[in-house]
Structure formats: structure tokens, C-alpha cells
Structure 1
Amino acid sequence: MPAGPGQSGREIAFDSGYSWFRLGLSILLTTLGGVGMWSVVVVLPMVQTEFAVARGAASFPYTLTMAGFALGGVMMGRLIDRFGIVRPVIGGTILFGTGYVLSGLAPNLWVFAICQGFMIGVGSSATFGPLLADVSMFFRARRGLAVALCASGNYVAGTIWPGVVQHFMTTAGWRATQIGIGLFCIVAMVPLALLLKPRPPSQVGAAGAVSAEGRLSALGLSPATLQWLLAAAGISCCVAMSMPQVHIVAYCVDLGYGVARGAEMLSLMLGLGIVSRIASGFVADRIGGVATLMIGSVMQAVALVLYVFSDGLTSLYVVSGVFGLFQGGIVPSYAIIVREYFPAREAGARVGVVLMATLVGMAFGGWLSGAIYDWTGSYAAAFLNGIAWNLVNIAVCAWLLLRGRRRPQAVPA
């Protein structure tokens, strides 16, 4: 009989009722913890005004937050491989909750930036990559769907939290809002994390390791080589992805449509990205992670090409929606691939490394697109640059697919 939410002593089956209950908890934790990635963008103008700094200096806390989130994901991933998910999530929650409280008391920009990067960024990373890796261990037949649903929590956070932060920032001020977020997250998330105590099914160890090693052997690659290839693909696809996500608002301003229209396109993009992530999970359960990543990458390239020929308001809304539908499933595919080709005991750290690569791609791509705009005076070349990086990602996916099909399969029945 499948174990219930509190039956940690019984054996838990794959795809059981408890597996879905745990997935629901993980989505909620991902949504709540996702505030760490989105709130700093909303408070940035108020922070700039209060500390009387230039826009570039005021953007530094965001950069540190992304760096902390990327590096923290690797560190937290190693911790869940060793201790399970509960301690890292509770520790990360307390860390980033405390960071919010201290950032609300910050006397200057640099203290605020340190709190954002080394506390909020690192702490909130425990609620994304590590939870994706953990959820993947409780599913077999529906693993792709489960990982995609869990990853959708980050996009849900991006849809919900900015409005919440803006409301309280307007009514209570940015400092009180930061403190309130920290206290709320600690009180709400620690009890939820305690419900994740049951361990994965015991079969995820031995049988899962043999299956993963068989698939990796069929590729004829060492674990390190495949890890580096996935990291390179992650950087490339997210350099391309960052062009519309980071610059769509500025692009609309340049075209004379204003900030509000650009913000609406970004919301449309993220909202349809949730649909894309869920759909990609269904697809991955049928054709595998690499093939799903290949489809998403090709479709993302198509959307970027459409951007090159779109400068009308209606066409930009349509293309932004299409882009959201095409790219949302790309990042979860990396976590699915890791679970397919690496043992479960290494999932946390390896998912963390690949997701760190995607964040590096987003950060580098956002800067590079802006730099290309400065050099050329137009976003046309920036879109072409994104397409070029996207082709690198497609090449890696195609090579892995062809290599897997040409070599004899070594996966045991």
C-alpha cells in the first residue's frame, strides 16, 4: 500500500498518491521561494532613490542575487545528495528569510547587495533545482510531467510576487515589505518543508543507477563529458532566451509603445511559459529529455526569427506569446536528462550545475544583448546573436540524439 503523507516508515511506491502530494508541496515551496528571484527587480527604483545611486549601481544587487542563486544551487544540490531535501530547504529558507529582514534594515546599498546575493540568492536556490531533483526520485512513469510541474512554480512566482511586492511597497514602504517577506516565508515554508521527510523509494538507488549507467554507456561518453555538454547547451540556449525576456520592455520603449505594453508582453510570455513547461513534461515522458530539449530549442529559434521581422504592436504580442509557448519547457528538460543519464545519488549536485549554467547564460545574454544594442543602435543584431547561440544548443542536442541512436543500446531490460 502506498504511504500517506505522514507514513515515513512504509515503503513509498513510484507515482503513488504520496508522490503527487509531495509534488504539490514542492510546487508551493518553489512558488513561495521564487520571491528571491523576482522581488529585487520591483524594489530597485525605490532602493536607487533612497540610497541616491546611479541605475548601474542600483542594478548590482540583482547581479549578486543571480550569482548567489546560481552558485547556491550547486551547493544545495550537494547537500540534498548527502542529507536529503528537508535540511537544505529549511536552512535555505531561514537564510534567505533572515536576508530579507536584514536587507530591510540596510544602511547603504552595499549592505543591501550583500544581503541579496549571499543570503537571499543562495538561500532561495534551495527551492528550485534541489526540489526538481528530489521530485524526480518519486516518479518513474510520470517523471517528466512531475519535474515540469515543479519547475512551473518559478514562473508562477514571477507572475504573482511582483504584484504583491508592488502593493505592499506602495502601502508600507520597501523596507517594511522586505522584512515582511522574510518573516512570512520563514513562518510559512519551514512547516511545509518538514512534510518532505519521507525518503524516496528504495528502488531509486540500485535499479535506477544501473539504468542510468546503461544509458550513459550507450552514448559512449564519460559522466564529466556529458555534464560539460549539458552545461554548454544550457548556457547557449539561455543566452538566446534572455534576449526577449530581459529586453522586451526596452524594445517596446524604443519602438514607441511604452513600458506598460512591454510589461504586458513579458507577463504573457511567462504565463504561457507555464503551459509550455507542463506540456513538455508530457512529451518528455514519451520521447525522453534530450528529444524534448531538441524540440524546444528548435521552436525557440523559430520564435527568435519571428522577432526579427516583427515590430508592430499586435505582431509583438503574438510573437511574445509564441515565444513563451516554445521556450518554457527547455530548462526542466535539463533536469529530466540528468535523471535519465546519472545515478539518483548524484542528481542534486548535477542538476545544480546544469541549472547554474542556464543562469549564467541568462546573465551573460542579458548583458550581451544590451552591449550589442549599444554598439549597433538596434536590437536587430541582438536577435541574430540570440539565434546564433540557439544554433549551438541545437547542435549539441542533435549530436547527442544521433550518437545515442547509432551506438548499440546498453540499457538493461
Structure 2
Amino acid sequence: MSADDQRYAPDSSYAWLRLVMSLVLGTVACVGTWSVVVVLPSVQQEFGTLRAGAALPYTCVMLGFGFGNIAMGRIADRFGIVVPIVAGALLLGSGYMLAGLAQSLWQFALIHLVLIGVGGGAGFAPLIADLSHWFRKHRGLAVVFGASGSYLAGVIWPQVITWGLQNHGWRATHIGIGVVALVVMLPLALFFRRRPSHEQMAADEAASAGARGDLGLSASQLQWLLAIAGFSCCVAMAMPQVHIVAYCGDLGYGVARGAEMLSLMLLLGIISRIGSGFVADRIGGVATLALGALMQGIALFLYLWFDGLTSLFIVTGIFGLFQGGIVPMYAVIIREYLPAKEAGVRIGIVMSATVLGMAFGGYVSGAIFDYFASYRVAFLNGLAWNLVNVVLVCWLMLRSRSRVAAAV
């Protein structure tokens, strides 16, 4: 192996530097899924709409984000990660600037769908897929670090945007975010010009084909099984994530306590993601996903029994620690079993299924609350969807192990 090959080999110091740059990039690119939540009251007042109308841009940005993960992932598979990064920067930069100038709610929502949402997709699935090519021994850890950019964005950006709202207003804040996206993402794109070697990609293709053969499923069958599992787990996950603030308000603790719980959940979710990476590198992505899904179900079950302020903080912390590592495991499994050259689009499809699960879960939990005037049934609904995920993933894990044992 030449000196140049050693420098850019999997798990090299360059690979770890690429991971750090990906984390920075993902933190900036995923701003769209959080900014619209923070400015919702200001937008509602500005355009004189009801709360449901003000929430429309959130739905739009999530739909655009889901589509962006697939589209940007396919582009990354064909042309490399630089093209999606540049495209994402231009879409986000122009999107936020235009959002700051929007004169109506429908303009604001459309911009979030077509520009901000799609542009943000460049900072999630394509980055995760790209990182997976640069690691073998520590692939699980690298993938969860890459996926943590979206959570880190949720920790940092709301505070920055809140400051902007208080000092400059929501329009100037949006224009400022657009400038930041361009200034940070475009220069960083140059760092990602190097692509994995043909030899490395060929070795990964052979490894995934062998693992898929041991599993006894076609690539398409496994793809859709993971998509269904991802959708189910995120319907369950959405109940606390989307409704914890409203739940605390209904219990009389105030929305401020609920916001604190949400921040705690996301912060501990980052720790969970990193920890799951270490576990996945030792026992594999499928087993780690099964463990995470089971533990998420336990945390949801605890919500049924504890609703005191202190106990809710504890249960929410437990939920954050259990659920944070689940979504990245789908990417780890895809890299273990599906073709490496199609990693971008395949990870994008499954990540989009999880986004749709969050959107559906948030809506259906609210609808259940409206019908029963209680979140108890909504938590039970989340448990039911989580059970679907547990059954699918455990079946996949048992199938893998049984076929390997039979072969031996």
C-alpha cells in the first residue's frame, strides 16, 4: 500500500477528520427542521393565521427534508458528496433569504418545502452514507456521529434563533441563517472532494453481498422491511418528542418545563447515539437496533405510570437515552447488507421513512388526544407501533443468526 493509500485508508486520521467536518456540516444543514418550530408564534402573528396554519411550514419542511434525503443521496451515489453539499448550501441560503422576505403564509410554507427542506436533506442521509465508506472497524460509531448533526442542530439553533428573534426579528434572523449556511457549507464542500478508492468500494460490495446471502433476503426485500420498521419506530418516537411540551402544559407544569424536558431528551439522545455506535461495532447493527427498540418500548410504558414533574423529567431522560441511537442503526444495517455503491439512495429511502413516521406519529397522537381528551391512549398507540418495529427487527436478527448457524 502506498503512502497516499495509507493516508486515506478506512479508519485513518483523515477519516476521523472527515467525520468532524461532517458533524459541523450536518449541524448547519439541519437547521430547517428546528427553526420553523421556534418562529411559529411570530409567523402566526405576522400572517394573522390560526395555529394549524402556522404549523403548515413545519409539515412542508419535513416533507421536503424526506424527499431531499432520497434525491441528494442518489446524487451523492453518482457524483460524490460534494455536489449535494453545494446544492444544499445554495438551496438553504436562497431559501432562508427568501423566507425572510415572504409576504404571505403560502409563500413561507412553499419556500420551506422546495428550498429549505430539500436543501437540508444534504446534511443527513448523504453525509451518513459518505462517512460509512471511510470506516470499517468503527463504522457504527462513525455513522451515529454523522447522524448526531441533526440532534446537535436541535440543541444549538433554537438558542441562536431565539436570540435573533429578540434582537432583530424573525425576518432578519432568517436572512442571517441563509448567510451562515452559504458561508459555512460552501467552503467545507471543498474538503470532501476525495472519494473512496475503487478497491475499497469493491471490497465493501463483496462484503455486503456475502452478508445479504447469509440473510436470505433480496436487496429490495430488506430495503422495504427496514423502511416499514423505521416508519413504525418513529411513529412511536414522535409521541414524546412532538407532544411532551403540550403534555406538560395539560398537566399544569407549564410549557417551559416541557421545553426543558425536550432539550434534555435531545441532549441525552446525542449520548445515546454515540453509545449505540460503540455497541454496534461489537454486536452488529441488527442486534443493536433490536435492543434500542425494546428499550424505547420500556420508556414509553413508563410514561403510562408516572406523570409527576420530577418523575417526568426522569422518564424523559430515560427515553432520550434509549431512543437516540435507533435511527442511525438503519444506516449501519444498510451498509452491512446492501450494495455500497447505492448507500446514498438506500439510506435516504429509509431515513425518509423515519421522517414520515415522525410526521404521522405527531399528527395521529394529536388526533387521538382530541378524540379521548387524554394522552394515555396516544402512549398506548405509540407502544403498539413500537411493538411492530420490535417484531420485525427481532425476526431479522433471528433469521440472520439461524442461517449462519445452519451454514456452520
TM-score bucket (shorter structure) = over 0.9
What is the aligned partner in structure 2 of residue 242 from structure 1? 238
CA RMSD of aligned residues (A): 1.5
| Equivalent in 373, 380, 405 of residue 377 of structure 1 | 373
Match of 1:119 in 2: 115
- Kindly tell me: are residues 404 and 103 of structure 1, through their superposed partners in 2, closer, same or farther at Cα, counting changes over 3 Å? same
Match for residue 56 of structure 1? 52
- Preserved CA contact (<8 Å) 1:205 1:343: no
2:260 corresponds, among 254, 261, 264, to 264
- 1:152: which partner in 2? 148
**Structure 1 residues not aligned, in runs of 5+:** none
Identity %: 60
After TM superposition, where is structure 1 displaced by more than 6 Å over at least 4 residues in a row?
none
Superposition map of 1:303-382 within 5 A: 303-382=299-378
1:10 to partner: Cα distance:
7.9
Amino acid at match of 2:384: A
Cα distance in structure 2, aligned partners of 1:110 and 1:20: 42
Residue 37 of structure 2 aligns with an amino acid whose one-letter code is V
The aligned length equals 407
Give the structure 1 partner of residue 195 of structure 2. 199
The answer as to whether partners of 2:7 and 2:14 remain within 8 angstroms in 1 is no
User: Which of the residues 373, 386, 393 maps onto 2:382?
Assistant: 386
2:272, 2:321 within 8 Å by CA — same for their partners in 1? yes
Are 1:91 and 2:87 matched, yes or no? yes
The CA deviation string for residues 273-325 of structure 1, in whole angstroms up to 9 with x for no partner, is: 00000000000000111101000000000000000001100100000000000
Deviation larger for 28-37 or 274-283: 28-37
Q: Aligned partners of 2:111, 2:6: CA distance in 1, in Å?
A: 41
> Residues of 2 paired with 1:162 and 1:404: CA distance?
42
Letter in 2 for 1:381: V
Match of 1:251 among 247, 250, 272: 247
Paired residues for 1:207-222 under 5 Å: 207-222=203-218
Are residues 1:291 and 2:279 paired?
no
Report the AA paired with residue 66 of structure 2. Answer: A
**Counterpart amino acid of residue 177 in structure 2:** I
Q: Is the 8 A contact 1:2 1:17 kept in 2?
A: no
Determine whether 1:166 maps to 2:162: yes
**CA distance in structure 1 between the partners assigned to 2:196 and 2:321 by the alignment:** 32
Equivalent pair of 1:97/1:186 in contact (CA under 8 Å): yes
1:397 aligns with 2:393: yes
**Can you list the C-alpha shifts for 1:245-270, whole angstroms capped at 9, x where unaligned?**
00001110110000010000000000
Preserved CA contact (<8 Å) 1:215 1:410:
no
SS of residue matched to 2:374: coil
Residue type at the aligned position of 2:372: T
1:204 CA drift (Å): 2.8
Q: Is the partner of 1:333 in helix, strand or coil?
A: helix
Q: Could you tell me how far apart the structure 1 residues matched to 2:255 and 2:292 are? A: 29
Judged with a 3 Å threshold, the aligned counterparts in structure 2 of structure 1 residues 377 and 205 are, in CA distance, closer, same or farther, namely: same
More helix by share: 2
* Aligned residues of 1:234 and 1:358 also touching (Cα < 8 A): yes
Aligned AA for 1:181? Answer: I
Amino acid in structure 1 at the alignment position of 2:166? T
Equivalent residue for 1:128? 124
Give 3-state SS (helix, strand or coil) of 2:103's partner: coil
Deviation at 1:84, TM superposition (A): 0.3
| Aligned counterparts of 1:204 and 1:124: Cα–Cα separation in 2 | 29
Distance in 2, matches of 1:11 and 1:150, equals: 21
Q: C-alpha displacement at 1:99, in angstroms?
A: 0.4
Which amino acid is the alignment partner of residue 244 of structure 1? P
* Structure 1 partner of 2:403: 407
AA matched with 1:92: G
Letter in 2 for 1:114: L
Q: Contact (CA 8 Å) 2:133, 2:201: kept in 1 or not?
A: no
1:205, 1:160 → 2: CA distance? 35
Check conservation: 1:218, 1:410, Cα contact below 8 A. Answer: no
Map Cα deviations across residues 126-178 of structure 1 (whole Å, 9 max, x no partner). 01110000001000000000111111111111001001001011111101110
Maintained 8 Å contact 1:80/1:348 = yes
- What is the CA–CA distance in structure 1 between the aligned matches of 2:405 and 2:307, rounded to whole Å? 48
Q: Deviations over 1:29-48 (max 9, x none)?
A: 01111211110111111111
Secondary structure of the residue aligned to 1:151 is: helix
Shift of 1:27: 0.3
Q: Where do 5+ consecutive residues of structure 2 fail to align?
A: none
1:260 to 1:207, Cα distance in 2 relative to 1, 3 A: same
Change (3 A) 1:92 1:207: same
- Asked whether the 8 Å contact 2:29–2:88 carries over to 1, the reply is no
Shift of residue 11, structure 1, vs aligned partner: 6.5
Give the structure-1-normalised TM-score. Answer: 0.96
